[in-house]
Amino acid sequence: MTIALAIHGGCGTLPKAEMTDGEWAQARADLASSLRAGWAILTKGGGAVDAVEAAVRVMEDSPHFNAGHGAAFNADGDHELDASIMDGATLAAGALCGVRRIRNPVSAAKVLMLRGDPLLLAGAAGDIFAEHEGLDMVENDYFSTERRRKNLSSMKIRELVGTAGQASEAEKHGTVGAVACDAKGHLAAATSTGGYTNKPVGRVGDSPIIGAGTYARDGRCAVSGTGKGEYFIRYCVGHEIASLIAYKGLSLKEATDTVLGELGAHKIGAGLVAIGPDGGIVAPYNTDGMYRGWVTPDGLVHVATHGDVEVAGQA
């Protein structure tokens, strides 16, 4: 089988002028580090689930993405994190929403998945579970960055003057995710997010909803989405793509383009990465940019933030 790995760091990419060349270079370096972490597992014969967890953890630890350290603030100025992971071989999955103290929510989601039941834990119950399992716990302000504080201030001003609907994807959203195909042909997907800036306390998006923002099923595809989560939930995006492949015979590209086109009709920002059982990768988006990357079969790391894709060396 052809091993394959793809990631996204959210379609809420800032305009190029909003960050220095050095900051853009660091964001691309973090994307490359994420890919190398997942690829190292796959090349040693490791499973797709472990690979997507490793890739997402790197992005959760980076301040450049809206997940883990660098997550968006809710309306109260706190962080509520969502994450999920799914094994395409067994359809086992684990998810957490509204957690506040887990350093790497994707790892807690995997531990929950391996436990087998329940699949989804919310709020304080998720934090208690992770702490009991010995995962790294932090204070809520660990996730804060100055850029996210500015985003919150901007969104609150927009809310007051009635222009919240005109906010850019970079001001509002952001998510990280990974999809993989391992040497045995098994697929997996994982997604993690801080939600959108100034979201109501308790709001849950698509990232922890299996079948919406995260889905993996052997023989069909693995998908991780980014964008306006309420619409990803309504369209059951991940499952819809898998169903178009299974029941309509569409290719991975045809299925993802079809679903992304339906989302685009609502004038919302959306993007995703998806991988097929043959290792084929797609990374479509309808915004100005999407943090994204993949490793080709020759081991070359490809990363991008806007239109141009650069090769970042060997994995």
Is the Cβ–Cβ distance between 109 and 96 less than 8 Å? yes
Distance CA 261, CA 39 (A): 31
Which amino acid is present at 243? S
Distance CA 120, CA 113 (A): 9
Q: Is 205 annotated as a binding residue?
A: yes
Residue 308: closest CA among 13, 74, 73, 84: 13
Three-state SS at 246: helix
Candidate list 43, 145, 175, 256, residue with the active-site label: 175
Going from the C-alpha of 221 to that of each of 15, 188, 216, the distances in angstroms are 31, 9, 6
Q: Is 228 annotated as a binding residue?
A: yes
DSSP state, residue 18:
G
DSSP percent split of the chain into helix, strand, coil, nearest 5: 35, 25, 40
- The residues with which 293 forms a beta bridge, in sequence order, are 7, 303
Question: Residue 175 catalytic?
Answer: yes
Separate counts of helices (H) and strands (E) for the chain: 9, 13
Q: Is 218 annotated as a binding residue?
A: no
Q: Is 229 annotated as a binding residue?
A: yes
The strand pair at 270-275 and 281-282 is best described as antiparallel
| Positions marked active-site | 175
Q: Which residues are annotated as a binding site for substrate?
A: 203-206, 226-229
